Amino acid sequence: MVEHRRAPRRRAEDVIQVTNAITGDAAGRICNLSIDGMMLVTERPAREDALYQYSFQLPDERGQPQQVEIGMHEQWTEPATVPGQHWVGLRFIDLSPEDHAIVQGWLDRGREHWE
């Protein structure tokens, strides 16, 4: 696989569930996250070149959950090592200043979990 990341990524040491903000359906869980995008583990492949509106919660510096909602663009999907699961790479395309600050704060607090 060719490396296309522009920003360092942090792996999720805890389970961070992701929800489709439009339908309310579970979308998967975060494997890793950067300020530019994320990789999800899902039970079904994403649609090629699709746009998504996903939401999830990240803990702030006091451990309190902060809701984030981000528009994303599917970059790639491939089968995971566990049968029936898929890895999905997503690029952020619509990130509010408030959500950017929440994501950046979470990234900054977890330097020991960088990949």
What was the pLDDT predicted at 22? 95
Q: Which two tokens stand for residue 8?
A: 């360092």
| SS3 (DSSP) at 113 | helix
User: How far is Cα 101 from Cα 68, in angstroms, rounded to an integer?
Assistant: 10
What was the pLDDT predicted at 3? 47
Domain ranges, ordered by start, for the chain: 10-110
What was the pLDDT predicted at 110? 81
**pLDDT(115) > 60:** no
Spatial contact of 71 and 93, defined as CB atoms under 8 Å apart: yes
**In terms of pTM, does the model score above 0.95?**
no
- Contacts of 17 by beta carbon, 8 Å cutoff, 6+ apart: 26, 28, 29, 56
CATH topology of domain 10-110: Thrombin, subunit H (2.40.10)
How far does Cα 5 stand from its chain's mean position? 14
Mean per-residue pLDDT for 65-79?
Answer: 97
What was the pLDDT predicted at 111? 67
User: How far is Cα 23 from Cα 30, in angstroms, rounded to an integer?
Assistant: 18
pLDDT digit string (tens) for 21-39? 999 999 999 999 999 999 9
